[in-house]
Structure 1
Amino acid sequence: MLINRDLPDLGYRFVGTDNELGGHRAAAHAIARGARSIVVLEEDLPITTIDHRIAGFRRAMAEAGLPVPRGSIMRVPTRRHEHVALPWQPQQAYQVARRMLRRSRLPDAVVVGNDYFALGLYRALEEHGLKVPDDMMVIGFGDHPFSAFLSPPLTTVRLPADEIGTIAVDLLLEEIAGGRNARPLKQLIAPPPWSNAAPRCAPDPPPARPAGRLRRRHAARAPARPAPGRGRSLRAGPRTTARRATRLCARRPRCDSCRCGRSPGR
Structure 2
Amino acid sequence: MMQLKIKNCNNIENGEFDITEGRLNIKYAINGTGKSTISKAIEAFVTNDQEKKNLLLPFKYYGVEEENSPELIGYDQFKKVSVFNEKYIEDYVYQQNELIKNSFEIFVKSPDYDTHIKEIEKLLESINITFQNHPELEELIKVFQQFIDGFGKAKSGYSAAGAIGKGIGKGNKLDNIPVGLEVYEPYLKNNDNVKWIKWQLEGKHYLDMAEQCPYCSGSIKETKETILKVSEEYDAKAVEQFV
The answer to whether the superposition gives a TM-score over 0.5 is no
More helix by share: 2
Kindly indicate whether structure 1 or structure 2 has the higher relative contact order, using CA contacts under 8 Å at least 6 residues apart.
1
TM-score bracket relative to the smaller structure: under 0.3
More strand by share: 1
Q: Which has the larger radius of gyration?
A: 2
Q: State the TM-score, normalized to the length of structure 1.
A: 0.20
